[in-house]
Amino acid sequence: MSLFHRSRALWVAVLAIVLAMVVAACGDTKDDTETSASSAPATTADGGAAANADGEYRRGLKAIVMPKQLGNPYEELEDSGTVEAFEELGGEASIEGPTDAGASSQVPILQSAIQKQPDAIILAANDPNAVAPVLKQAIARDIRVVTQDSDAAPDARQIFINQATTEGIGESLARMASQVTGGRGEIAVLSATANATNQNAWIRVLRERLETPEYSGLRLVKVAYGDDDDQKSFQETQGLLSAYPNLRAIVAPTTVGIAAAARYLSTSPKKGRVQVTGLGTPDQMRKFVKDGTSEVFALWNPKDVGYLGGYAAAALASGIITGAEGERFEAGRLGEREILANGEIVLGPPTEFTRENIDDFRF
Amino acid sequence: MSTADVAVDRREAGERARRLSEMVFRMRELGIVIALLALIAVTAILEPRFIELDSLKDLARNASIIAIIAAGQTLVILTRNIDLSVGSVLGLAAFFCGDMLSNHGMPIIVAILLCIGLGATCGIINGVLTTYGRVPALVVTLGTMYVFRGIAFVYTDGRQINAETLPDSFLNIGTGTILGIPTIALIAFVVVVIVGLYLSNYRSGRELYAIGSNDAAAKLAGIRVDRRVVGAFVASGALAGLGGALYAARFGTVDATAGTGYELTVISAAVVGGVAINGGVGSVYGAAIGAILLGCITSSLIVLRIDSFWQQAAVGALLIAAIAFDRLVGLRLDAALRQRSARRA
Amino acid sequence: MPELATTTPSAGGTPPAAPSKSGVRFDPSNLVRWETLIVGLIIVVLFVGSGLSEQFFTAASFTTGSFDMIEVALIALPMTLIVITGEIDLSVASILGLSSALMGELWNAGLPLELIMPICIAMGAVCGVVNGFLVTQLGLPSLAVTIGTLGLYRGLALVILGDESITSFPSAWTERAFGTINDGWFPNVMVIFVILAVLFAIALHATPFGRSIYAIGANKEAARFSGIRTKRITMSLYVLAGAVAALAGIVMTLRNSTAAANVGVGLELTVVAAVLLGGVSIFGGKGSLFGVILAVFLLGAIQKALLLADGVSSYWIQIVTGTLLVVSVLGPNLVVRAREARTRATRSRAPGAAPPATTTTKPRKEEDR
């Protein structure tokens, strides 16, 4: 077509740009290797000093914190904890994240984060494996990688801050379910998305616990997925209530799900007869604990998760720890913490909230 | 003289065609109603609790917000445009409403009216860009869908509105009943009826059909096309704003992501309800019934304990079936009309 | 009813607008101007981006930026052709997800990847056949059809893979998808894109097939009467879109070493945004593949610049993309309007002024969707 002929000038212009980019790119690759070569001794020196547990935190550290999704209040709380930790240590942490929680939505943002060459990246992974290749690149470029709240593949990060052990949370869910039902009857789970790593792990433990004699009176009839969407969680709750008339409790191990289930039940005739429990923030659930929709639910302080993650990342970047089992470091107001097997650090058992203590918590 | 004859002839033919196609409309709505009743009946046979009073109330509540926004969307689609920004407008308005009520102590009615105004403002932007800016509606609203959602993110700044901080009388709008009928469903009913009456009884309402059928002809016939199209967008935005306020009242928890993806559900509801995506055909009642049908599908899959993974596939398949059905009926109708005019000649 | 809609405007609206119409569609100076505009924008973004971050104008940015945009870039190729015919395909991201889910499921079932990949692409082509059948044979509006199949294919992806995410793909393949040529700065996956881009460009701009695509978009009825097999061509474009979307699904799966049913949700809108930004008219008949490729590059550059800038949240990417999309169409329209107003003003002083109705109805008709 004539297009090719008439727009020759444009093609030339574009070719020129592309060539310029290529030249620039080649030049920069050289620069990159040079800079990384020059900075290499410094970082290996840090790495070499690793075993020194008395080491001071380095000041002026730069970190990037990545939530699963921007605008998610729980994640924002967590990240504010990380930012607080870095500020205490005289460094800075900036929050960057995707606008949706799809499996691979964090990848492009991580890639750009690596380019900025921060001292550490702290993230809550949307999918353990989708982010793994990028995280490995980050580690290869001497960036310390800490996961918090939701882990990545273990070989793609140095430390994982577990809010509580999977076992502990599963156990806690079983215990609360037993408590609110008096130990007998049908229960159902209202989870987040079907792919959610955390929720699936907790539900697995919950199932295991329910098979033990201690919880023999409880029967898990259905796991429903509210997709962490209010409307869907509402409809799933309605469905559970009408499909299982003998239901005694809904266990929602997700902050969106528990709020939706409680909100629906609080205005339903089945309020009180069917209890809501699970994991939620006190601010979301205060109203429903007070009106009897939910006797008890649990959560760790998300801000503490982020705070611990921040200190762990700073300790790694300062060479105080390397991420090996048994190492210890001082984590600000949370005191001394130890690294367990698999590079995990556990924040502690979740706090259970009831009518008595809920007003002591604001988050 | 001969031209006058032709004109009379045309008018009569047009009148006949109109009556015939109106009849088909009614049948179309009837078809959707039958599909809905069949779905409810099958579900109820398998699981009788599905038609208990409380369950029916929930079905009505679930469909209400979508039905309200679908009513606005119908106006836009009738003019042969589309509004993809409604989900983002809903999110923006929902958070705005929650923020005004819990952090600024604004009276409920004022907050709701401001939400409607906020939505209408978004609608004006869409409408003006589409008509006076001559940018296709698909492009405009695809763009504003991103922009309004982005603004919602900036505005919420990671905050969340919780049920605890919202006044009970506001939350009751979402969950309460008036004379045994869910309040939110009553609001939806009133909105749909008002829009329906507007479309059938007002000149400007009927003009929307004319614009969608052939806007060049509509313009030559003296219809102020641009003004009507802007009006449709304003209505769509305003109803999305109202939907946002009701969303906050119903769910009590609002963050920046509220209403993500609603645009496709709303358009699906309208199209399933017989509103032609090419404009000029359809009714707001059909769209509302479409919204109820979509809501019922989700609920009945849940009640029937069918894996919820099937839900999305089912809704997609239903949408295709609905437009394919419309097309076949349309072809029949065309043939019938042609036969008639042939006979007259 | 659709016949009515397509014939009346061309009968009533074209005669006075005929010269300007061919001007809009086939005058290359118009196309060149558009693409020059995008090139100008790219240069602006490159400058601004370099100002925002030292890391911006580097090879690493190109490498990682390509990974961010590769799926959008691939799907934008067939989408350009579809939009030029005046249709649209919103189901591409769902086909991508379905391809990823199928890939995971088949890998789980023990099939070798060499066999799985052709199966996935064939499955994508079948999805395209379904779209094409509904659009061409049943004559349904493509917007509504593909909103339906968007739900249907994504739903099927969920049905196939459910809550699982499959990650055990052999590292030889994932490293290939994630790697660069000679470990340099040019990603392997971009090779696929370059090859496909050349093929699509030749097909669209230098073959009778491509000319038919423009003819269909300019006036479907006229194209059919002039002997172009409009249905067959439209069908083939949907099949291409399905196959390429499935290919993009394979690329994404290997690149992230994760197969899941929910990957790429919402990607279709980014693709459409890129195509429209590239100067393709949503009414069809107008646009070039070259402009779209530039637009993909522009979007990638903007995204990269904002990601690298300190303290800019990624929702700003949404705001900027959305605004750019609207402004890119609005800007030229305002220029045209201003020029029209000027000529009308000068003409109205001259005797025998052209009736204003004709100049305004024609564009109005077009902007309906």
Q: Is residue A212 domain-resident?
A: yes
Residue C10: what pLDDT?
35
In percent, the amount of chain B with pLDDT more than 70 equals: 92
Q: Which residues of B touch C140 (CB under 8 A)?
A: 320, 323-324, 327
> Is A329 in the same domain as A281?
no
| Residue-wise pLDDT tens digits, C160-213 | 988 778 888 888 888 888 888 888 889 999 999 999 999 999 999 999 999 999
For residue C97, what are the contacts with CB-CB under 8 A and spacing of at least 6? C153, C154, C157, C249, C261, C262, C263, C264, C265
Instruction: Give the minimum alpha-carbon distance from C172 to chain B in angstroms, rounded to a whole number.
Output: 32
Q: Is residue C290 domain-resident?
A: yes
Please state which of the ranges B100-114, C284-298, C348-362 shows the lowest mean pLDDT: C348-362
| Cβ contact, residue pair B319, C144, below 8 Å | yes
Q: Is residue A31 domain-resident?
A: no
Of B134, B278, B323, nearest to C5 by CB-CB distance is B278
The residue type found at A244 is: Y
Instruction: Tell me which chain B residue has its CA closest to the CA of residue A95.
Output: B158
Q: Which residues of A touch B302 (CB under 8 A)?
A: 224, 235-236, 238-240, 243
- Mutation target to probe the A interface, by most A beta carbons within 10 A, among C54, C163, C251, C265 is C163
Please state which of the ranges A67-71, C28-32, C119-123, C223-227 shows the lowest mean pLDDT: C28-32
Say if residue C66's pLDDT is above 70. yes
| Residue-wise pLDDT tens digits, A340-360 | 988 999 988 888 999 999 988
Say if residue C148's pLDDT is above 50. yes
Q: Is residue A20 domain-resident?
A: no
Residue C245: what pLDDT?
97
d(CA C104, CA C92): 18
Say if residue B278's pLDDT is above 60. yes
Instruction: Tell me which chain A residue has its CA closest to the CA of residue C207.
Output: A1
Instruction: Tell me which chain C residue has its CA closest to the CA of residue A16.
Output: C39
> Is A72 in the same domain as A137?
yes
By residue range, what is the domain housing residue C118? Answer: 60-306
| Residue-wise pLDDT tens digits, B124-183 | 999 999 998 888 898 899 889 989 999 998 898 878 888 888 998 999 998 888 988 999
Q: Is residue A128 domain-resident?
A: yes
> Is A176 in the same domain as A293?
yes
What tokens does C279 get?
């100067």
Q: Is C262 on the interface with A (CB under 8 A)?
A: yes
d(CA B139, CA B145): 10
d(CA A285, CA B24): 51
Residue C357: what pLDDT?
39
Q: Is residue C163 domain-resident?
A: yes
Number of domains in chain A: 2
Residue A49: what pLDDT?
42
Q: Which residues of A touch C55 (CB under 8 A)?
A: 115-117
Phi and psi torsions of B260, nearest 5°: -65, 130
- Mutation target to probe the C interface, by most C beta carbons within 10 A, among A30, A32, A115 is A115
Q: Is residue A22 domain-resident?
A: no
Question: pLDDT class for C28, splitting at 50, 70, 90?
Answer: very low
Of C256, C303, C318, nearest to A107 by CB-CB distance is C256
| Cβ contact, residue pair C318, B215, below 8 Å | no
Q: Which residues of B touch A238 (CB under 8 A)?
A: 55, 58, 62, 299, 302
Q: Is C14 on the interface with B (CB under 8 A)?
A: no
- Mutation target to probe the B interface, by most B beta carbons within 10 A, among C319, C321, C333, C360 is C319
d(CA B150, CA C323): 11
Q: Tell me if residue A161 falls in helix, strand or coil.
A: strand
By residue range, what is the domain housing residue A74? Answer: 62-164+302-348
- Mutation target to probe the C interface, by most C beta carbons within 10 A, among A3, A36, A70 is A3
Residue C369: what pLDDT?
40
| Cβ contact, residue pair A132, C314, below 8 Å | no
> Is A171 in the same domain as A160?
no
Q: Is residue C118 domain-resident?
A: yes
Chain B touching partners, 3 or more CB pairs below 8 A: A, C
CATH value at residue A155: 3.40.50.2300
Number of other residues whose CB lies within 10 A of the CB of residue A165: 16
Over residues B106-127, mean pLDDT: 96
Over residues C210-218, mean pLDDT: 94
B40 touches B50 (CB < 8 A): yes
**Alpha-carbon distances of B64 from B185, B186, B287, C109, C186, rounded to whole Å:** 5, 9, 12, 44, 52
Residue B10: what pLDDT?
59
Say if residue B68's pLDDT is above 70. yes
Q: Is C314 on the interface with B (CB under 8 A)?
A: no
Task: Name the nearest CA neighbour of C34 among C270, C217, C269, C276.
Answer: C276
Please state which of the ranges B22-36, C192-206, C218-232 shows the lowest mean pLDDT: B22-36
Instruction: Give the minimum alpha-carbon distance from B240 to chain A in angstroms, rounded to a whole number.
Output: 16
A204 touches B17 (CB < 8 A): no
| Cβ contact, residue pair C59, A32, below 8 Å | yes
Residue A29: what pLDDT?
43
Over residues C78-97, mean pLDDT: 95
Instruction: Tell me which chain B residue has its CA closest to the CA of residue A226.
Output: B308
Residue A178: what pLDDT?
94
Say if residue C30's pLDDT is above 60. no
Task: Name the nearest CA neighbour of C362 among C4, C9, C24.
Answer: C9
d(CA A307, CA A241): 39
In the stretch 70-109 of chain C, residues with CB closer than 8 A to chain A read: none
Residue B344: what pLDDT?
65
- Mutation target to probe the B interface, by most B beta carbons within 10 A, among A77, A258, A263 is A263
Number of domains in chain C: 1
Over residues C95-120, mean pLDDT: 95
C163 touches A203 (CB < 8 A): no
Q: Is residue A15 domain-resident?
A: no
Which of A284, A299, A314 terminates a domain? The answer is A299
Q: Which residues of C touch A154 (CB under 8 A)?
A: none
Q: Is residue A136 domain-resident?
A: yes
Of A71, A238, A243, nearest to B257 by CB-CB distance is A71
Over residues A18-27, mean pLDDT: 53
> Is A182 in the same domain as A221?
yes
Instruction: Tell me which chain C residue has its CA closest to the CA of residue B335.
Output: C1
Say if residue A46's pLDDT is above 70. no
Chain C touching partners, 3 or more CB pairs below 8 A: A, B
Please state which of the ranges A59-63, A309-313, C17-21, C299-303 shows the lowest mean pLDDT: C17-21
In percent, the amount of chain C with pLDDT more than 90 equals: 46
What tokens does B163 get?
């049920």
B49 touches A242 (CB < 8 A): yes
Residue C6: what pLDDT?
34
The residue type found at A228 is: D
Q: Is residue A311 domain-resident?
A: yes
Residue C269: what pLDDT?
81
Phi and psi torsions of B310, nearest 5°: -75, -20
d(CA C159, CA B319): 18
| Cβ contact, residue pair C304, A32, below 8 Å | no
Say if residue A72's pLDDT is above 90. no
Question: pLDDT class for B246, splitting at 50, 70, 90?
Answer: very high
Say if residue A31's pLDDT is above 50. no
> Is A138 in the same domain as A262?
no
Instruction: Give the minimum alpha-carbon distance from C28 to chain A in angstroms, rounded to a whole number.
Output: 6
Question: pLDDT class for A298, splitting at 50, 70, 90?
Answer: very high
Please state which of the ranges A218-232, B90-104, B251-265, C346-360 shows the lowest mean pLDDT: C346-360
| Cβ contact, residue pair C210, A25, below 8 Å | no
| Cβ contact, residue pair C260, A195, below 8 Å | yes
Q: Is A108 on the interface with C (CB under 8 A)?
A: yes
Q: Is A32 on the interface with C (CB under 8 A)?
A: yes
> Is A114 in the same domain as A263?
no
Please state which of the ranges A23-32, B16-25, C96-105 shows the lowest mean pLDDT: A23-32
Reported as type and span, the H/E element at residue A45 is helix A8-48
> Is A188 in the same domain as A260?
yes
> Is A197 in the same domain as A260?
yes
CATH value at residue C249: 1.10.3470
d(CA C62, CA C186): 8
> Is A68 in the same domain as A183?
no
| Residue-wise pLDDT tens digits, B179-219 | 889 999 999 999 999 999 999 999 988 999 999 888 889 88
Residue C111: what pLDDT?
93
B137-156 helix and B108-131 helix, angle to the nearest 10 degrees: 140
Q: Is A19 on the interface with C (CB under 8 A)?
A: no
| Residue-wise pLDDT tens digits, A129-147 | 888 888 998 999 999 999 9
What is the model's pTM?
0.81
Over residues A231-249, mean pLDDT: 89
Q: For residue C136, what is the DSSP state?
A: I
First and final C-alpha spacing in chain C: 17
**Across all residues in chain C, what is the average pLDDT?**
83
In percent, the amount of chain A with pLDDT more than 70 equals: 85
Which regions of chain C does DSSP assign to beta strands (E)? none
Of C185, C294, C313, nearest to A29 by CB-CB distance is C185
Q: Tell me if residue A239 falls in helix, strand or coil.
A: helix
Kindly provide the ipTM of the predicted complex, given to two decimals: 0.80
> Is A292 in the same domain as A192?
yes
Give the residue ranges of DSSP H helices in C56-112.
59-84, 92-108
Q: Which residues of A touch C165 (CB under 8 A)?
A: 103, 127, 129-130, 195
Over residues B249-261, mean pLDDT: 88
Q: Is residue C166 domain-resident?
A: yes
Question: pLDDT class for C78, splitting at 50, 70, 90?
Answer: very high
- Classify residue A37 by burial, with Cβ atoms within 10 Å: 0-12, 13-18, 19+: exposed
> Is A284 in the same domain as A320?
no
